C-alpha cells in the first residue's frame, strides 16, 4: 500500500530521528525520504511490464494495451487498458469521462477477471494535461477507495510509457493529490504526498503477537 508506506515512514522519521527510512514489503524494498512538514517521498522502485510479471494468465507481447473491454463488443464503454506491476498488479483504462462506467459494479468483475490470476487493482484515468491526471480506483480486496498510492504509481508508469504525460505529474484522486516523478536514471517511480495524524491506539496483547 503506497499511502500506508508514507504513513509508516512518517512515524519512523520521528521515532528514529532520521530523514530516510527503508521499508521491507512483500513487493520489494521501499526507500522513504522526509520532505517538508508532513510530506514524504517514497521510491516505489521500477515498474514491471512483462505479462508474466503482472501477472497475466495469457501472454501479451505489448502490455501498453491489452485486449479487455466492458460493454457491447462493437461499442465498448471502456477497452484496451494498460497493465503494470508496481509491487501489485494494476489495470488502467484511459478514459475521457471518469463516470463512464459505475466503478463500484465494474471494479469487482474486472478485479476477479480470469486474466488476472492474482486479481488486480482497476483504475480509470483521465489525462487532463501532460502534468496532470485524474484517477478513480477500485482497490483489490478493498473496493472503491478515495486514494490509492500504488494506483498513482501505476498511472505514472503506464502514462509515461505511452507518452501521454511528462516525467513529473500531479495525480488527483478523490482524497487528494500526489506528486509523481519518473526518475530518468533508473526508471523508478517516486511518490510525494502529505501525511496527517488521525489517532493512536493499542492492540490487545493476544492480537499483537
Question: Got the DSSP string for 64-113?
Answer: TS-S-EES-SSS-SEE--EEEESSSEEEEEE-S-TTSS-HHHHHHHHHT-
Please give the mean pLDDT across all residues of the chain. Answer: 91
- Annotated catalytic residue: which of 91, 148, 153, 169? 148
CATH of the domain at 111: 3.10.310.10
Provide the domain limits for residue 100: 2-194
Does residue 81 fall inside a structural domain?
Answer: yes
- At residue 11, the pLDDT reads 74
* Alpha carbon distance 196, 204 (integer Å): 25
In degrees and rounded to multiples of 5, residue 106 shows phi and psi of: -75, -35
Helices (H) and strands (E) in the chain, counts: 3, 13
7 is catalytic: no
Does residue 205 fall inside a structural domain?
Answer: no
Residue 138 pLDDT > 90, yes or no? yes
Does residue 149 fall inside a structural domain?
Answer: yes
pTM of the model: 0.88
Does residue 200 fall inside a structural domain?
Answer: no
Does residue 140 fall inside a structural domain?
Answer: yes
91 is catalytic: no
Does residue 209 fall inside a structural domain?
Answer: no
Does residue 203 fall inside a structural domain?
Answer: no
Name the band, by pLDDT with cuts 50, 70 and 90, for residue 1.
low
* Preceding peptide of 55 cis, ω within 30°: yes
In the chain, the number of structural domains is 1
Task: Convert the pLDDT of each residue in 71-92 to its tens digit.
Answer: 999 999 999 999 999 999 999 9
Does residue 107 fall inside a structural domain?
Answer: yes
Amino acid at each position: 500500500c503506497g499511502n500506508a508506506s508514507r504513513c509508516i515512514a512518517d512515524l519512523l522519521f520521528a521515532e528514529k530521528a532520521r530523514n530516510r527510512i527503508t521499508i521491507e514489503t512483500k513487493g520489494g524494498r521501499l526507500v522513504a525520504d522526509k520532505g517538508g512538514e508532513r510530506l514524504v517521498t517514497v521510491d516505489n522502485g521500477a515498474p514491471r511490464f512483462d505479462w508474466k510479471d503482472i501477472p497475466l494468465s495469457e501472454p501479451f507481447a505489448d502490455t501498453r494495451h491489452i485486449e479487455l473491454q466492458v460493454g457491447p463488443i462493437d461499442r465498448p464503454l471502456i477497452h484496451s487498458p494498460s497493465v503494470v506491476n508496481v509491487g501489485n498488479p494494476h489495470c488502467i483504462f484511459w478514459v475521457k469521462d471518469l463516470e463512464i462506467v459505475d466503478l463500484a459494479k465494474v471494479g469487482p468483475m474486472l478485479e476477479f477477471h480470469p486474466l488476472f490470476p492474482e486479481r488486480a487493482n482497476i483504475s480509470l484515468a483521465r489525462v487532463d494535461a501532460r502534468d496532470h491526471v485524474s484517477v478513480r480506483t477500485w482497490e483489490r480486496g478493498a473496493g472503491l477507495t478515495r486514494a490509492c498510492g500504488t494506483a498513482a504509481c501505476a498511472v505514472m508508469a503506464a502514462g509515461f510509457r505511452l507518452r501521454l504525460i511528462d516525467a513529473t505529474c500531479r495525480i488527483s484522486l478523490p482524497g487528494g493529490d500526489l506528486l509523481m516523478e519518473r526518475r530518468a536514471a533508473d526508471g523508478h517511480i517516486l511518490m510525494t504526498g502529505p501525511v496527517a495524524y488521525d489517532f493512536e491506539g493499542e492492540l490487545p496483547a493476544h492480537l499483537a503477537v
